[in-house]
Structure 1
Amino acid sequence: MSIRVIVADDQEIARTGLRMILDAQPDIEVVGEAADGQRAVELARRLRPDVCLFDIRMPRVDGIEATRTLAGPAVADPIAVVVITTFDLDEYVYAALRAGARGFLLKDAGPDLLGQAVRAAANGDALIAPSVTARLLATFAHAGQATPPVQPIESLTEREEEILATVARGRTNSEIADELHISLSTVKSHIASLMTKLGVRNRVEIAMWAYATKRIRT
């Protein structure tokens, strides 16, 4: 089954380019396009795609608010969103991931990374452009922290602390498995345990928690 994607960008040439890149990949299908955030939300609610790919700067409703509407913490049945933008600004990334995005890419990321981000989001994972991961996650840890980070409901094991550190540094599951000399299924099991203990929904929030608690420093 193909991964069904909606693309939203106010520039037609950008939408066309993203559609061409994604439709060229055998396991991904673009099922809808929107030129503004309001239309994107309407399409997503009607079509229920596997992943939404949103630009940030859009008329009527911007990409951040559209993300919050479809994937925010209060949404009972969230739709995966990847935010893609020209602007490498900390406040954009912070807002996008706080709104519930499962990924953040720059528009110069290239076809391979774009496909990886869509697949990761569809699988409940997350991908942030590697060039900005550590700096951006560190920004999240120091911005908008009105309350101290929550404590885990159960203490983390030594192995979970190791997994936490690698996730916070932007490693993929395969890279973690190679680095720690464990199986891919073991990595996935530990990440699932971390999400349960920390009360978070994805690996981006795991990484944010690691920086917020100063377990990881840039």
Structure 2
Amino acid sequence: MNLTTREETVLACIARGMSDREIAARLSFSVSTARKHREHLLAKMQLRKSSQLTMYYLARHRELFKKAGRILRIIHSRSGSANTCNGSRAA
């Protein structure tokens, strides 16, 4: 499905769990405009819930998450321990 640049931006905000108020503040428009963007995306994709928009976003950008997963596995394998957190080893 083809989305405009603005729709992609709003969709990314929704996927990050932002409220209409937060989206409006971030993108410099009114709360009602943010709400309309959300409603339009739901209608355009024939979805009913914002959580479905998030799932759509994640599926659409799965390559980014695959790359992030590879990076995390590399970092994990270099750490030398499965019990590391923030660079410090668990006792």
Q: TM-score, normalised by structure 1?
A: 0.28
Query: C-alpha distance in 2, partners of 1:182/1:188?
Result: 11
Q: Please list the CA deviations of residues 45-95 of structure 1 after superposition, one character each: whole Å capped at 9, or x if unmatched.
A: xxxxxxxxxxxxxxxxxxxxxxxxxxxxxxxxxxxxxxxxxxxxxxxxxxx
Q: Which amino acid aligns with 1:175?
A: E
Structure with the larger strand share: 1
Bigger helix fraction: 2
Q: Specify every segment of 5 or more residues in structure 2 that has no aligned partner in the other structure, as ranges.
A: 69-91
Instruction: Work out which structure has the larger RCO, using CA pairs closer than 8 Å and 6 or more positions apart in sequence.
Output: 2
Any stretches of 5+ residues in structure 1 without a counterpart?
1-151
Count of residues in correspondence between the two structures: 65
Measure the CA separation in 2 of the matches of 1:159 and 1:178: 15
Residue 196 of structure 1: how far off its partner (Å): 1.3
CA distance in 2, matches of 1:171, 1:190: 13
> Which of 161, 166, 169 is the aligned partner of 2:8?
161
- What residue is the counterpart of 1:202 in the other structure? 49
Paired residues for 1:28-107 under 5 Å: none
Residue of structure 2 equivalent to 1:175: 22
Shift of 1:198: 1.3
SS of residue in 2 equivalent to 1:156: coil
- Please give the alpha-carbon distance, in whole angstroms, between the structure 2 residues aligned to 1:185 and 1:157: 19
Q: Is 1:187 paired with 2:52?
A: no
Deviation (angstroms), 1:159? 0.8
How far apart, in 2, do the equivalents of 1:188 and 1:197 lie? Answer: 14
CA distance in 2, matches of 1:196, 1:156: 13
Residues in 1 aligned to 2:46 and 2:34: alpha-carbon distance in whole angstroms: 18
The amino acid across from 1:206 in the alignment is L
Q: Give the Cα separation in 1 of the matches to 2:50 and 2:61.
A: 17
Residue in 1 that maps onto 2:79 = none
Query: Larger Cα Rg: Structure 1 or Structure 2?
Result: 2
For 2:54, give the aligned amino acid: A
TM-score, length of structure 2 as denominator length: 0.64
Write the deviation string for residues 191-217 of structure 1: whole angstroms up to 9, x where unpaired.
111111111101110011000111774
Q: Give the alignment's Cα RMSD to 1 decimal.
A: 1.7
C-alpha distance in structure 1 between counterparts of 2:6 and 2:33, whole Å:
10
Which residue identity is paired with 2:25?
D
Give the AA of the match of 2:61.
Answer: K
